[in-house]
Amino acid sequence: MNIRELPEWEKPREKLLKDGAASLSAMELLAVLIGTGRRGESAMDLASKILSLHPDGIRFLADCTPEELRNVGGIGDAKICTLLAAAELGRRIAAAKPGKPDRIESSRDIADLFMEKMRYYRKEHFICLLISAKGDIIEADEVSVGDICSSAAGPREVFVNAIRRNAGSVAFLHNHPSGDPAPSEADIQTTRRLVRTGELLGIPVLDHIVIGDGSYISMKAEGMM
């Protein structure tokens, strides 16, 4: 598809300026970011190739790597940087809550803070949220990437920063790349083991939130802890 041959009102940049970014398809938005094509292929052609890299289409960009984009001929490092920066910027804008302090008062607060960041991950990320005695977030400590039941998410690794930072309590989060937030039996047993460790250390575990695609489950609310 040669963009130059399109009517003026159908060219992605002109269309964006006239009708707004929301009027563009995912392919057109990618074409604007890519800017230029290469011999025999337009920016729209390259955008189509990127969308075909993964069954998730545009969602693939939320957690892809530079190496994966290099598989597309005509996408060099400059274009890769532009695409990944745009994806991260979009994620941060979606996660930003103007005027909302990072203070934890409920499981919903935890889910709201992390949903847009974690719902698109293609691997499991386990986070230990360090919380002060006043309910303020001290730090979101990413303990491991992968299976939370592995040794990487053992009690020592999970609580080491909570002890170091004098956290009053902690909450756990991890995502399910499948999009289904239902905890597995292994998730439940691992959580109960970590709760017992927290009790011994005097650092209570407030909750374990499992993030799916637009939904979450509070293991505390479900009586799984």
In a domain, 64, yes or no: yes
Q: How confident is the model at residue 141 (pLDDT cuts 50, 70, 90)?
A: very high
Residue at which a domain ends, from 71, 95, 119? 95
**Domain hosting residue 28, numbered range:** 3-95
Q: What is the pLDDT at residue 59?
A: 82
Q: State how far the Cα of 183 lies from the Cα of 133, in Å rounded to an integer.
A: 28
In this prediction the pTM is 0.66
Say whether pLDDT at 149 is over 60: no
Beta carbons of 177 and 121 less than 8 angstroms apart: yes
Q: What is the pLDDT at residue 201?
A: 95
* Number of domains comprising the chain: 2
Whether residues 90 and 185 fall in one domain: no
Residues 6 or more apart in contact with residue 178 via CB below 8 angstroms: 212
Whether residues 112 and 214 fall in one domain: yes
Q: State how far the Cα of 214 lies from the Cα of 180, in Å rounded to an integer.
A: 9
Say whether pLDDT at 150 is over 50: no
Please report, rounded to a whole number, the percentage of residues in the chain having pLDDT higher than 70.
89
Q: Locate tokens 């190496």: which residue?
A: 67
Q: What is the pLDDT at residue 198?
A: 96
Say whether pLDDT at 151 is over 60: no
pLDDT, one tens digit per residue, over 76-132 is: 999 999 999 998 888 777 766 655 556 778 888 889 888 988 888 888 999 999 999
Q: How confident is the model at residue 6 (pLDDT cuts 50, 70, 90)?
A: low
In a domain, 224, yes or no: no
Say whether pLDDT at 203 is over 90: yes
Say whether pLDDT at 175 is over 80: yes
Whether residues 68 and 125 fall in one domain: no
Say whether pLDDT at 222 is over 90: yes
Q: State how far the Cα of 69 lies from the Cα of 81, in Å rounded to an integer.
A: 10
Annotate the chain with DSSP letters as a single string. --GGGS-GGGSHHHHHHHH-GGGS-HHHHHHHHH---BTTB-HHHHHHHHHTSSTTGGGGGGG--HHHHTTSTT--HHHHHHHHHHHHHHHHHHH--TT--SB-SSHHHHHHHHHHHHTT-SS-EEEEEEE-TTSBEEEEEEEEES-TTSGGG-HHHHHHHHHHTT-SEEEEEEE-TTS--PPPHHHHHHHHHHHHHHHHHT--EEEEEEE-SS-EEETTTTT--
Say whether pLDDT at 172 is over 90: yes
